[in-house]
Structure 1
Amino acid sequence: NEGVITVEEAKGITTELDVVEGMQFDRGYVSPYFITNAEKMIADMDQPYILIHEKKLSGLQPMLPLLESIVQSGRPLVIIAEDVEGEALATLVVNKLRGGLKVAAVKAPGFGDRRKA
């Protein structure tokens, strides 16, 4: 039950489902502080929530209620964004290091004609 979901607007009225095995990012995590397995240099998350943001994240103030709910759930969070910087990055790293939020932020893939960011 691992994978990525891509939702596209259809030209017609039919619904289609294509299942493709595998996943790979052409860019890595935003900070090495998000690593969970230092031996393999990976950020391994079990059944995380996934937040996709098409632009750079520099502040988290609008998302604080969401982040607090995720902390309460005990599940990890993977953030996929063009970039995570400044206050947003510092806040995520501090919360990860303190054990309050299991989080990893990765840069969104930089390819594809449908990518807006």
Structure 2
Amino acid sequence: GYLSPYFINKPDTGIVELENPYILMADKKISNVRELLPLLESVAKSSKPLLIISEDLEGEALATLVVNSMRGIVKVAAVKAPGFGDRRKAMLQDISILTSGSVISEELAMELEKATLEDL
């Protein structure tokens, strides 16, 4: 499920609905908003929604996403990646194949701060 009830944009049904979103997949815990800022700015300029699938998202990063979503700056939702351990990484790879995106993985020397819209 989603990481915050504030991402709900269909309150009558309690669901989050995003139309043709960018999908950020990361195999790490995201807690520092500075990692997301360059990407968030690019997404905001594009006016497309953003779905974040990561190991976890917490602290100031989650708070910033909630505030930006509530203010209508960026339409965003965040969910925990399915599975655990190596199985989680494999499932993220499967999702990336289905969505034609990339998994931002530190194991592959990829940094979230340097991710671009082309990686989503």
Same fold by TM-score greater than 0.5: yes
Letter in 2 for 1:96: S
Q: How many residues align?
A: 90
Q: Give the superposed CA RMSD.
A: 1.8
Q: CA deviation at 1:82?
A: 1.3
TM-score normalised by the chain length of structure 1: 0.71
Moved over 4 A (4+): none
When structure 1 is superposed on structure 2, of 59-68 and 105-114 the one drifting more is 105-114
CA distance in 1, matches of 2:10, 2:35: 30
**Which residue pairs with 2:73 in the alignment?**
100
Letter in 2 for 1:86: G
Does the CA-based 8 Å contact 2:68-2:74 persist in structure 1?
Answer: yes
Structure 1 gaps, min length 5: 1-27
TM-score normalised by the chain length of structure 2: 0.69
Whether 1:45 and 2:18 are equivalent positions in the alignment is yes
**Which residue pairs with 2:96 in the alignment?**
none
Larger Rg: 1
Structure 2 gaps, min length 5: 93-120
Q: CA deviation at 1:95?
A: 0.5
Q: 2:27 aligns with which of 29, 33, 54?
A: 54
Identical pairs, percent: 62
Q: CA deviation at 1:60?
A: 2.0
Higher helix proportion, which one?
A: 2
**Which residue pairs with 1:21 in the alignment?**
none
Whether 1:36 and 2:9 are equivalent positions in the alignment is yes
